Amino acid sequence: AQTVTQSQPEMSVQEAETVTLSCTYDTSESDYYLFWYKQPPSRQMILVIRQEAYKQQNATENRFSVNFQKAAKSFSLKISDSQLGDAAMYFCAYRGPNAGNMLTFGGGTRLMVKP
Partner 1 sequence: KAGVTQTPRYLIKTRGQQVTLSCSPISGHRSVSWYQQTPGQGLQFLFEYFSETQRNKGNFPGRFSGRQFSNSRSEMNVSTLELGDSALYLCASSAGVRLTEAFFGQGTRLTVV
Site string for partner 1, 75-94 (x = CB under 8 A): ----------------x---
Candidate ranges 10-18, 22-30, 69-77, 101-109; the one touching partner 1 (CB under 8 A): 101-109
C-alpha 77/C-alpha 89 separation (Å) is: 13
Binding-site size, partner 1 (CB under 8 A):
22
Q: Whose Cβ is closer to partner 1: residue 30's or residue 101's?
A: 101
Which strand (E) or helix (H) includes residue 59?
none
Out of 11, 104, 110, 112, the residue judged to bind partner 1 by CB under 8 A:
104
Query: How many Å apart are CA 95 and CA 33, to the nearest integer?
Result: 5
Q: Which helix (H) or strand (E) element contains residue 39?
A: strand 33-39
